[in-house]
Structure 1
């Protein structure tokens, strides 16, 4: 008879709701449990050893007691937070997911996660099995990129530009350009022949966008007047706006965008973390100028994962250093609450990740 092999599992649980207030450490609790038995796996189950965790603004919605599109099951108190991660399968009762496979999955803010029900045909799985070359970091593409430039942020950037239908010679403005999605949007658009303008929250981020990531221009939205900056940097107007910010800057772009311009609405981070809704005043200009506003959610475009197109397009650009992708990687699952709070406050540049364990 095989002996039980229990491993201590440190996890981050939801201790309280923030609702309309700023997120603080009071919303998080760190717990340790010896409750993962690596020799006990049922049919249809896998056990994951989590390697990297992505910290994303959308998780903020799970700290609201009610409202929004977040299912109630993702908002329960005393439950483990969930977010996109990279993991290694260390035990499996499912032929489709053998031991040793690397996957990305909506996993727990924890060291080990048990996933059940995978043999049920009605189970909706978000598991993405990574290609074998994901392990190969020798060409300068770290494994962590599979939840950044080659993961959901990369998919959002790549597919978003396709939805916009960008054309060379046009001008695109990228909100929150130093973030996990924006930095890639700008570089891909530049490769496609567009003039690229971005906004960011510090002079250091602005300099990085221009000097390292090939943006044609950028401005610090905290210290510069956005109207003056956009008029100066885009003298021929804005043709496309890749919007993850919403609020006042969206209102301004509606004034400045060219006739038949297009806006991709991906998120509204200006109205998250306890900030109220912003009343858009310039909606009449949509009709006056024939502007299109297109909604975007990444799971409508998973085909670019499934057919390998995202990997085959973006990975060579990363290997050849034609795209410079900026990550901020912090060590240890216990550090997740602090860095999640700082991420919401805009303190970091690039994609924010927690490294939980070595491969």
Structure 2
């Protein structure tokens, strides 16, 4: 057993209350400080010093008191929020993870995370040819979701894909990877600046502002041959619209329903009959069902990042204590690209 002898101060972001169907506010967060003794690492466990934390929309689900059974352990009050992070092992009771190992893992929104089971980390970081924060963005869960999602859709060159929330951490990479595979790529975003960035910097074939132009009208203009694949992150009215306009034997990948969260009223889907009428296939997607693609992600995307062959937009903010503010701003659509917290120690 390897132990680093030290007592450290641990700042933690605690889930203070549920938002349920209301908009998330600062009332859902509490900042606490505790001391953590690295000598107390358990046999088989590790203690992580968190370096970067990923702020992701799916964490919003943990602020609803009711939910499916799978998310129940994440929906507890008076415990730290959990999300994906880049971390360094600083105390170890596991031969697999010696002190100094860099990993991506489900970490707390905190400086240090204690893992009783060292199997919890899901990816070693073996190469640091790019900034470590990339391992929770283009080389982490968003990147894995992008690459594996296109595989699940079974995309073919020459066809058209529509990417919703295309300026976000997942959508921007989906579009660029699909473009590299020979697809005609259309995206939507919520500001003119984001639309311009998608077309001029990330080389989408077309994009539109969903706040100022209807989806049907925009797709008729930008995708005259229709849509074959829909990469859906929002659900609701846009999903309903796409069921109406998607081509026969089209494929839809559902990775989230953000339009139904954060105080939004559920939208009644009316066009479900189009699934059978057109032979449409809808695929549900959860990233951790596809961890086997991490190696391919690193081999495919890391070289592109190293030589600036793709444009991946992300914003890195300092300070664990600022995570609540940036999490709320992210849900409110105030940021472009992936949102990351650099943990100050």
Q: TM-score range by the shorter chain?
A: over 0.9
Pairs within 5 Å for 1:168-207: 168-207=157-196
Higher mean C-alpha deviation, range 157-166 or range 223-232: 223-232
Cα distance, 1:275 vs. partner? 1.4
- Computed over aligned residues only, the root mean square deviation of the Cα atoms, in angstroms, reads 1.5
Rounded to whole Å, the distance in 2 between the matches of 1:157 and 1:357 is 29
Cα distance, 1:125 vs. partner? 2.4
Rounded to whole Å, the distance in 1 between the matches of 2:225 and 2:74 is 45
Contact between 1:52 and 1:357, CA under 8 Å: does it hold in 2? no
Contact between 1:86 and 1:104, CA under 8 Å: does it hold in 2? yes
Residue among 312, 316, 324 paired with 1:329: 316
Unaligned runs of 5+ in 1: 119-123
Pairs within 5 Å for 1:238-253: 238-253=227-242
Cα distance, 1:143 vs. partner? 1.1
Corresponding residue pairs, total: 343
2:117 aligned residue: 117
Kindly provide the CA deviation profile for residues 134-183 of structure 1, in whole angstroms up to 9, marking residues without a partner as x.
Answer: 2x3xxxx2111100100011000001101111111111000000011000
- Secondary structure, aligned partner of 1:71: helix
Rounded to whole Å, the distance in 2 between the matches of 1:356 and 1:126 is 18
Rounded to whole Å, the distance in 2 between the matches of 1:126 and 1:49 is 13
Rounded to whole Å, the distance in 1 between the matches of 2:246 and 2:188 is 16
2:16 aligned residue: 15
Rounded to whole Å, the distance in 1 between the matches of 2:51 and 2:69 is 28
Please tell me whether residue 167 in structure 1 is matched to residue 156 in structure 2. Answer: yes
Residue among 115, 118, 122 paired with 1:127: 122
1:286 aligned residue: 275
1:222 aligned residue: 211
Higher mean C-alpha deviation, range 173-182 or range 267-276: 267-276
- Secondary structure, aligned partner of 2:268: coil
Kindly provide the CA deviation profile for residues 213-263 of structure 1, in whole angstroms up to 9, marking residues without a partner as x.
Answer: 010100011112222111101111101101111111111111111111111
Rounded to whole Å, the distance in 2 between the matches of 1:253 and 1:66 is 29
Quickly say closer, same or farther: Cα 1:3–1:87, change in 2 above 3 A.
Answer: closer
Cα distance, 1:69 vs. partner? 4.1
Please tell me whether residue 257 in structure 1 is matched to residue 246 in structure 2. Answer: yes
Cα distance, 1:4 vs. partner? 5.7
2:32 aligned residue: 31
Unaligned runs of 5+ in 2: none
Pairs within 5 Å for 1:62-73: 62-73=62-73
Contact between 2:4 and 2:91, CA under 8 Å: does it hold in 1? no
- Secondary structure, aligned partner of 1:8: strand
Please tell me whether residue 341 in structure 1 is matched to residue 336 in structure 2. Answer: no
4+ residue segments displaced more than 4 Å: none
What TM-score results when the alignment is normalised by the length of structure 1? 0.93
Cα distance, 1:130 vs. partner? 1.2
Kindly provide the CA deviation profile for residues 31-69 of structure 1, in whole angstroms up to 9, marking residues without a partner as x.
Answer: 1112x1123322112111100000011111111112234
Rounded to whole Å, the distance in 1 between the matches of 2:240 and 2:231 is 13
What TM-score results when the alignment is normalised by the length of structure 2? 0.96
1:121 aligned residue: none
Contact between 1:62 and 1:70, CA under 8 Å: does it hold in 2? no
Kindly provide the CA deviation profile for residues 103-133 of structure 1, in whole angstroms up to 9, marking residues without a partner as x.
Answer: 0000000001111133xxxxx62432111x2
Contact between 2:4 and 2:38, CA under 8 Å: does it hold in 1? no
Pairs within 5 Å for 1:294-305: 294-305=283-294
Rounded to whole Å, the distance in 1 between the matches of 2:38 and 2:75 is 28
Kindly provide the CA deviation profile for residues 248-288 of structure 1, in whole angstroms up to 9, marking residues without a partner as x.
Answer: 11111111111111111111111111213211111111112
Pairs within 5 Å for 1:39-118: 39-118=39-118
Higher mean C-alpha deviation, range 80-89 or range 293-302: 293-302
2:135 aligned residue: 146
Contact between 1:65 and 1:75, CA under 8 Å: does it hold in 2? yes
Cα distance, 1:310 vs. partner? 1.1
